[in-house]
């Protein structure tokens, strides 16, 4: 939930403790002028800056429209460097990025202070899966491994089967498989990196040995602008 303070011109968003009045500014304070700037006839309030920045990110492809069936929405997960990482391993392409989630964050909590949602997008390149010169027309995810850091200190080292209970099967030319999850951090700056284990072919009919696919490190930062 967003709130515009008409006195100081700042736009705020509520946290998990909104009932206690806990809010976070959505725009850098240094950019806001609650009275007209002496060099400009326009008032620089946070709402205008927030809308302009949102439009700029859409125009530049930093964030994009997402279509799911008949529905279209704006995905806030960044699509460009440095906030989005990309890695290709044996023909499997993985893109990853994160967004801050203020409504889940609890600034009074010691360890779960800042919450971030992250989006993982994986696909198989048109040439398919290539391992040691051998071509495979599909591969399927079996295992995941995550290393989550806060200020370069490892907070979690996670291993487990599947992703959100699914074992995506990738084929050339098909749309990205997208899944989203979230993680808390005790600090406002962190990162995630890791790997997926795939098998060429299918889990029920593997055509070769399992192989690891890199998930390049992507940042979990408290942003200047919160949307």
For 102-131, how does the pLDDT look when each residue is reduced to its tens digit (9 = 90+)? 999 999 998 889 999 999 999 999 999 999
Q: What is the pLDDT of residue 42?
A: 55
What is the average pLDDT score of the chain?
A: 94
Do 199 and 213 meet the contact criterion of CB atoms below 8 Å apart? no
pLDDT of residue 115: 97
* Closest C-alpha among 179, 177, 111, 122 to residue 148: 111
Q: How far apart are CA 195 and CA 214, in angstroms?
A: 5
pLDDT of residue 34: 54
Helix (H) or strand (E) holding 25: strand 23-25
For the entire predicted model, the pTM comes to 0.91
- How high is the pLDDT of residue 40? 54
* pLDDT value of residue 45: 84
Rounded Cα distance, 190 and 153, in Å: 9
Q: What confidence score (pLDDT) does residue 65 get?
A: 93
CA–CA dist 122, 176 (Å, integer): 5
- Longest CA pairwise span in the chain (Å): 71
Residues in the chain: 227
Which parts of the chain sit beneath pLDDT 50?
Answer: 35
What is the C-alpha separation between 167 and 152, in angstroms, rounded? 30
Q: What is the pLDDT of residue 36?
A: 53
- pLDDT digits over 172-198, tens only? 999 999 999 999 999 999 999 999 999
Q: Are strands 134-136 and 129-131 parallel, antiparallel or unpaired?
A: antiparallel
Q: How far apart are CA 210 and CA 41, in angstroms?
A: 63
What's the CATH number of domain 78-221, 2.60.40.1470, 1.10.3720.10, 2.40.440.10, 3.10.180.10? 2.60.40.1470
Dihedral over Cα of 182, 183, 187, 191: its sign: negative
Distance CA 143, CA 132 (A): 21
Residue ranges of the domains in the chain?
1-60, 78-221
Phi, psi angle pair for 20, to nearest 5°: -95, 5
- Answer yes or no: are the C-beta atoms of 112 and 96 closer than 8 Å: no
At 43 the pLDDT is 56
Does residue 46 contact residue 29 with C-beta atoms inside 8 Å? Answer: no
């Amino acid at each position: 939930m967003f709130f515009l303070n008409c006195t100081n011109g700042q736009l705020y968003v509520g946290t998990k403790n909104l009932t206690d009045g806990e809010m976070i500014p959505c725009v850098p304070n240094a950019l806001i002028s609650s009275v007209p700037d002496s060099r400009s006839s326009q008032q620089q309030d946070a709402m205008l800056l927030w809308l302009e920045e949102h439009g700029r990110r859409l125009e530049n492809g930093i964030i994009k429209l997402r279509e799911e069936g008949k529905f279209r929405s704006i995905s806030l997960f960044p699509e460009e460097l440095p906030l989005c990482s990309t890695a290709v391993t044996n023909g499997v392409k993985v893109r990853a990025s994160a967004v801050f989630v203020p409504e889940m964050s609890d600034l009074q909590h010691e360890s779960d202070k800042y919450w971030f949602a992250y989006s993982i997008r994986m696909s198989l390149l048109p040439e398919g899966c290539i391992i040691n010169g051998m071509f495979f027309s599909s591969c399927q995810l079996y295992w995941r491994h995550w290393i989550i850091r806060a200020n370069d200190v490892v907070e979690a080292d996670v291993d487990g089967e599947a992703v959100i209970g699914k074992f995506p099967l990738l084929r050339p030319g098909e749309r990205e498989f997208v899944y989203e999850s979230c993680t808390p951090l005790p600090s406002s700056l962190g990162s995630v990196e890791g790997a997926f284990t795939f098998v060429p072919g299918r889990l029920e009919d593997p055509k070769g040995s399992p192989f690891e696919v890199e998930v390049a490190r992507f940042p979990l930062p408290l942003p200047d602008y919160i949307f």
